[in-house]
């Protein structure tokens, strides 16, 4: 009985460690963008997104895991260190598959933007790997990850839309970037002690726990203001539904921050933090 009770927890832990919860969030936001821009869905694009995202996150965790040399107290880093050979092969294969499919099946404009994005990612990983100055602002990865995460998803739909994005669309993208950034910073706030001990350059390690909490509260207030302003540009029920979803995402992340004792248990902050980005799924009902 005790073993069977533990299995779901362990299964989800591995599921999350492999960034599969992030992949679900990517699919949700991808469908969100397609619906808002009113363009046809291309299934192969979703596959490329999944492969590229998984490769990006896995390599990032592998770097942290290898730096720890198997001595990390963070399960995600220890897991990636223990299975570094297998995960390295799979992540490289996943990245090459995403690149190959993109070159064969996607539009030239998307390929060019994709190459530019890949260069940014390459520079990021190079700095992350080679820099010995662990408190360098250049290693403030939460913002970089948020930008790559959201822009990487919206890039193709914006090109396929073949028109200048509306003010409403631009606001939506900005809000999503800030939400992704807030979630990344929030995770670093909960992970502060472990990150500090192991020398990881998270936002909270760079700026301190109290300053980070203040910054997050200000960021969430700013998001509420931007979301409220965006209502002025709503012209359809679909857009109004999108605003409601973004507001719920912002409230959810803020609640996690305001009740740390509840969400620090069993790493619930990571579980619910990533699940916040599943909330755009209902948009497909419109």
pLDDT given for residue 258 in this prediction = 95
pLDDT given for residue 3 in this prediction = 37
> Residues with Cβ < 8 Å from 245, sequence gap 6 or more?
32, 279, 280, 282, 283
Burial of 7 (0-12, 13-18, 19+ CB in 10 A): exposed
Task: Please report where in the chains the tokens 């808002």 appear, as a residue.
Answer: 36
Q: How far apart are the first and last CA of the chain?
A: 44
pTM of the model: 0.89
* Full DSSP string of 87-99: HHHHHHHHHHHHH
pLDDT given for residue 151 in this prediction = 93
In angstroms, the CA 236 to CA 136 distance is 45
In angstroms, the CA 253 to CA 227 distance is 15
pLDDT given for residue 202 in this prediction = 84
| Half-sphere exposure of residue 130: CA atoms within 13 angstroms, side-chain side | 6
Q: Which two three-digit tokens encode residue 169?
A: 């669309």
Rounded (5°) CA angle 159-180-222:
100
pLDDT given for residue 285 in this prediction = 79
Rounded (5°) CA angle 121-183-126:
20
Contact 88, 62 (CB under 8 A): yes
**Residue-range domain boundaries for the chain:** 2-285
Query: For each of the chain's 286 residues, which pLDDT tens digit applies?
Result: 333 344 446 677 889 899 999 999 999 999 999 999 999 999 999 999 999 999 989 998 998 888 878 777 788 888 999 999 999 999 999 999 998 999 999 888 898 888 888 888 778 777 766 665 444 555 577 888 899 899 999 999 999 998 899 999 999 999 999 999 999 999 999 999 888 887 777 899 889 999 999 999 999 999 999 999 999 999 999 999 999 999 999 999 999 999 999 998 888 899 899 999 999 999 887 7
pLDDT given for residue 128 in this prediction = 66
In angstroms, the CA 83 to CA 81 distance is 5
Contact 103, 52 (CB under 8 A): no
pLDDT given for residue 9 in this prediction = 61
Best CATH choice for the domain 2-285 from the list 2.20.180, 3.40.50, 1.25.40, 1.10.600: 1.10.600
Q: Which two three-digit tokens encode residue 131?
A: 């820099």
Q: Which two three-digit tokens encode residue 142?
A: 């939460």
Task: Please report where in the chains the tokens 């948020």 appear, as a residue.
Answer: 146
Question: Residue 60: which of 173, 140, 141, 179 has the closest Cα?
Answer: 141
Burial of 273 (0-12, 13-18, 19+ CB in 10 A): buried
pLDDT given for residue 154 in this prediction = 96
């Amino acid at each position: 009985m005790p073993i069977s009770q533990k299995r779901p927890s362990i299964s989800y832990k591995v599921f999350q460690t492999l960034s599969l919860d992030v992949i679900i969030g990517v699919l949700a936001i991808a469908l969100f963008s397609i619906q808002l821009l009113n363009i046809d869905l291309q299934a192969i694009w979703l596959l490329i997104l999944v492969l590229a995202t998984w490769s990006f996150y896995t390599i990032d965790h592998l770097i942290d895991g290898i730096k720890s040399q198997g001595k990390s107290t963070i399960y995600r880093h220890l897991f990636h260190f223990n299975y570094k050979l297998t995960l390295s092969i799979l992540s490289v294969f996943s990245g090459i598959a995403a690149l190959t499919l993109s070159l064969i099946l996607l539009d030239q404009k998307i390929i060019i933007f994709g190459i530019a994005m890949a260069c940014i990612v390459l520079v990021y990983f190079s700095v992350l790997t080679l820099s010995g100055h662990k408190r360098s602002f250049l290693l403030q990865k939460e913002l970089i990850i948020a930008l790559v995460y959201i822009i990487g998803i919206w890039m193709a739909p914006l090109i396929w839309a073949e028109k200048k994005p509306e003010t409403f669309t631009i606001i939506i993208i900005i809000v999503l970037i800030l939400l992704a950034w807030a979630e990344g910073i929030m995770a670093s706030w909960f992970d502060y002690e472990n990150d500090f001990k192991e020398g990881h350059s998270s936002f909270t390690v760079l700026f301190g726990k109290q300053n980070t909490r203040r910054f997050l509260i200000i960021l969430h207030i700013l998001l509420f203001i931007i979301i409220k302003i965006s209502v002025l540009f709503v012209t359809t029920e679909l857009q109004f539904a999108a605003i409601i979803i973004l507001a719920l995402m912002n409230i959810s992340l803020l609640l996690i921050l305001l009740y740390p004792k509840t969400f620090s248990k069993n790493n619930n902050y990571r579980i619910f933090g990533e699940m916040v980005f599943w909330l755009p799924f209902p948009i497909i009902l419109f």
